[in-house]
Amino acid sequence: MPADFGYIILILAFVSSIYATFSSLYGGYTKNSAMVFSGQRAVVAAFLFVTLAIVGVELNLLANDFRFHYVASYSSIALPLFYKLTTIWAGQAGSLLFWGWILSIYSVLVLYFYRKDYNHEMPFVMGILMSVLVFFTAMVVFAASPFELLAHPPADGRGLNPLLQHPAMAIHPPILYIGYVGFAVPFAFGLGALLSNRLDSRWVKTVRRWTVVPWLFLGIGIMLGGKWAYEELGWGGYWAWDPVENAAFMPWLTGTAFLHSIMIQEKKDILKIWNMVLIILTFTLSIFGTFLTRSGVISSVHSFTASSIGPLFFSYVCAVLIVSLAIMFWNMDQLRSESRIENLVSRESSFLINNVIFVGLCFAVLWGTVFPVISEAVRGIKISVGPPWFNSVNVPIFLALLLLTGIGPLIAWRKASSDYLKRIFFVPAIAGIITAIVLAIFGVTKAYALISFSLSAFVLATIFAEFNRGALARMKAHSESYFPAMLHLLQRNKRRYGGYIVHFAIVLIFIGVTGSAFDQDIKLSLKEGHSDTIGRYEIVYTGFETSRDAHKEVLQANVLLKINGKNVKTLHPQRHFYFANEQPTTEVSVYNTFAEDLYVVLNTVDQETKSASFEIFVKPLVIWVWIGGVMLAIGTIIALLPNKKEIEIKPVRKEKAEEEMVTT
């Protein structure tokens, strides 16, 4: 697409989003339906223009048109087609445009589904979504255009960093963005409800699915990032409390809190202010997350070189927070609830505690992330806050959350009697205690790990007991046998039991992460045919080979893995040397079992002596993190599916039925 044409389209997208913002908001205030309608058409126009711009950038990438700065910087002739297409989100200008595009898609979808049902709120919802689009289109028009031309076009582009040429990494950014951007919808609905004076719990019900979806995508994005780090970076870990990881984790935390507390508002009509604050925070943190990854303010392994968009972005983050909080305070008296939480030992209060801890955790992560910047700016002292700090502060908080995962969903509404508590929690508590004792006998002495495993057993037991109770009740009522009863239970109450599956997944992730307390690693240098041992593994280095293709030279070591003298597997750790790039990349080779991973990193092979050096990690229970991630997605999707009842009769009935189930 010619540069001038591209620019014109970007400007048109920018102008349409400005028009959509003002026409919608003004039309909403003056109840002028012609203006509102005109604003809605501008929303669609903005979507079409941004889509066209995306198509334009993709065409430039496919055509290897290196006159464009963006194409020359991130693509090259040799780059495989798939990565050419994904290059749109590899760089700053493309990412910002892509962000705007997802936002415009969400806006059009919301408009399509709810313009009739929510005709009072919709002008404000659209006005807010479009005001966000104004910022992102302004960025690509004025600060970082993907259609910028080079004075001296090179013959070939620089290509995509080989580290990023990995399927998980190629789809990681858009998945994260679908998450980040998606929180704009509940945010816009919240403020829209405020501005249109419609603060019953209706918007909260509608917005649940629109929060769960971005929450799921953000979660999957975080998991994929971890998986990529584990397989590609070769340092044997998947999470390092890196600012860019934290950037995605923070809105996920407040989003999780929001998802829980809107259940309370839905059923009890309380916590209205708190929910509003949570969704404002979640969206602000989403923008802040984009800012952290895109501005390079905080140096990290991901750090993008300091860019001009930093100050603009930061001002925008502040503006979003201040304006939305101001809107909230102006309408504060609408938000007051009639009823209140009556008892400390109740579902309401345990959810509130969960919320406070989630927000506290998020604050701790935020504090650790920005502290180096604040310290340097205020005191001129450069400080690093690394994993030891995050772990020492966050691990106890995580454990408290794990405990609540078991307690929260089971405890009764309003007031839980001590008889009830005993009945529900006796067996799980015993399970937790026995787990701790057994592990201690088998020599697990690390306190946090013991607590974590014990709490995991407790929570698993509560979840199994819930499924069991439900299935038994159904067996009696419908004369079904056990497993069909359990299946029907799930089908009838997808939201509730899907939620339990999500909790189950979280426990699996906890178990996997706790395994890292028992990591071992060694550095080895082996002559051909020689071996060494780590843990129960014998590692035999049998030789190396080299090969080359059009882009790279590959050095591969062959390692035979033995357990108790038996051959188990041949591993092939590699190092890749790309011709276009001096930076070699590590291809680790991993032997996975449910108990532990053996993770082999090849360092070098001495061409003369033929001896090879390795770094080898034994990583207990890692696989459960990934299994947990998959379960998380499955559980969330189940919880999103409509219940049969919900289709047949009104949703209100379902809530009642669900509540009855809880108390039985």
Partner 1 sequence: MKKNKRVYIGLAVIVFAMSLLLIGGFDGETMVYNYTVKEILDKSESEPLNRGYRVGGRVIPGTVVKNDEEISVVFEIRDIQTQGYVLKVTYEGILPDTFKEDQDVLIEGNYVGNKTIHATKIMTKCASKYEAKY
Looking at residues 89 to 108 of the shown chain, list those that interact with partner 1 (rule: CB under 8 A). 90-92
**Residue 264 and residue 347: Cα distance in Å, rounded?**
9
Nearest approach in angstroms of CB 577 to partner 1 is: 11
Q: Is 164 in the site for partner 1 (CB under 8 A)?
A: yes
Q: Out of 32, 51, 64, 307, point to the residue binding partner 1 (CB under 8 A).
A: 307
Q: Is 339 in the site for partner 1 (CB under 8 A)?
A: no
Say if residues 548 and 576 touch (Cβ distance below 8 Å).
no
Q: Is 531 in the site for partner 1 (CB under 8 A)?
A: no
Say if residues 260 and 351 touch (Cβ distance below 8 Å).
yes
Q: Is 296 in the site for partner 1 (CB under 8 A)?
A: yes
Q: Out of 115, 360, 519, 655, point to the residue binding partner 1 (CB under 8 A).
A: 360
Q: Find how far residue 540's CA is from the centre of its chain.
A: 39
Of the candidate spans 29-37, 168-176, 252-260, 360-368, the one that interacts with partner 1 by CB under 8 A turns out to be 360-368
Q: Is 303 in the site for partner 1 (CB under 8 A)?
A: yes
Residues 479-518 that bind partner 1 (CB under 8 A): none
Which three-class secondary structure state does DSSP give residue 566? strand
Listed in sequence order, the residues at least 6 apart from 446 whose beta carbon sits closer than 8 Å to its beta carbon are: 517, 518
User: Would you say 40 or 92 has its CB closer to partner 1?
Assistant: 92
Which three-class secondary structure state does DSSP give residue 551? coil
**Residue 625 tokens, joined:** 């993190």
Nearest approach in angstroms of CB 366 to partner 1 is: 11
Nearest approach in angstroms of CB 70 to partner 1 is: 10
**Residue 514 and residue 566: Cα distance in Å, rounded?**
29
Q: Is 342 in the site for partner 1 (CB under 8 A)?
A: yes
Q: Is 366 in the site for partner 1 (CB under 8 A)?
A: no
Q: Is 357 in the site for partner 1 (CB under 8 A)?
A: yes
User: Would you say 93 or 223 has its CB closer to partner 1?
Assistant: 93
In single-letter form, the type of residue at position 554 comes to V
Question: What sections of 443-493 are H helices per DSSP?
Answer: 447-478, 482-492
User: Would you say 302 or 562 has its CB closer to partner 1?
Assistant: 302
Q: Residue 1: which of 92, 71, 99 has the closest Cα? A: 71
Q: Is 643 in the site for partner 1 (CB under 8 A)?
A: no
Say if residues 294 and 99 touch (Cβ distance below 8 Å).
no
Which three-class secondary structure state does DSSP give residue 134? helix
Nearest approach in angstroms of CB 90 to partner 1 is: 7
**Residue 658 tokens, joined:** 């669900």
Q: Is 73 in the site for partner 1 (CB under 8 A)?
A: yes
Q: Is 556 in the site for partner 1 (CB under 8 A)?
A: no
Q: Out of 249, 304, 313, 453, point to the residue binding partner 1 (CB under 8 A).
A: 304
Which three-class secondary structure state does DSSP give residue 556? strand
In single-letter form, the type of residue at position 258 comes to F
Nearest approach in angstroms of CB 481 to partner 1 is: 43
Q: Out of 197, 299, 308, 547, point to the residue binding partner 1 (CB under 8 A).
A: 299
Of the candidate spans 13-21, 69-77, 485-493, 555-563, the one that interacts with partner 1 by CB under 8 A turns out to be 69-77
**Residue 155 and residue 464: Cα distance in Å, rounded?**
62
Of the candidate spans 30-38, 228-236, 445-453, 473-481, the one that interacts with partner 1 by CB under 8 A turns out to be 228-236
Residues 257-286 that bind partner 1 (CB under 8 A): none
For residue 235, count other CB atoms closer than 10 A to its CB: 16
Q: Out of 364, 439, 465, 554, point to the residue binding partner 1 (CB under 8 A).
A: 364
User: Would you say 91 or 628 has its CB closer to partner 1?
Assistant: 91
Cα R_g (the chain), whole angstroms: 27
Q: Please, how many CA atoms are within 13 Å of residue 295, restricted to the half-sphere of its CB?
A: 22
User: Would you say 151 or 441 has its CB closer to partner 1?
Assistant: 151
Q: Is 542 in the site for partner 1 (CB under 8 A)?
A: no
**Residue 322 tokens, joined:** 């201040």
Q: Residue 187: which of 135, 244, 266, 121 has the closest Cα? A: 121
Residues 570-629 that bind partner 1 (CB under 8 A): 582-586, 601, 603-606, 609, 611, 613, 615
Say if residues 110 and 123 touch (Cβ distance below 8 Å).
no
Q: Is 310 in the site for partner 1 (CB under 8 A)?
A: no
Q: Is 225 in the site for partner 1 (CB under 8 A)?
A: no
Name the strand (E) or helix (H) holding 341. none
Q: Residue 558: which of 546, 576, 548 has the closest Cα? A: 546
Which three-class secondary structure state does DSSP give residue 96? helix
**Residue 222 and residue 246: Cα distance in Å, rounded?**
10
User: Would you say 37 or 310 has its CB closer to partner 1?
Assistant: 310
Nearest approach in angstroms of CB 648 to partner 1 is: 38
Residues 136-155 that bind partner 1 (CB under 8 A): 150
Number of residues this chain uses to bind partner 1 (CB under 8 A):
72
Residues 384-443 that bind partner 1 (CB under 8 A): 384-386, 388-389, 392-393, 396-397, 400
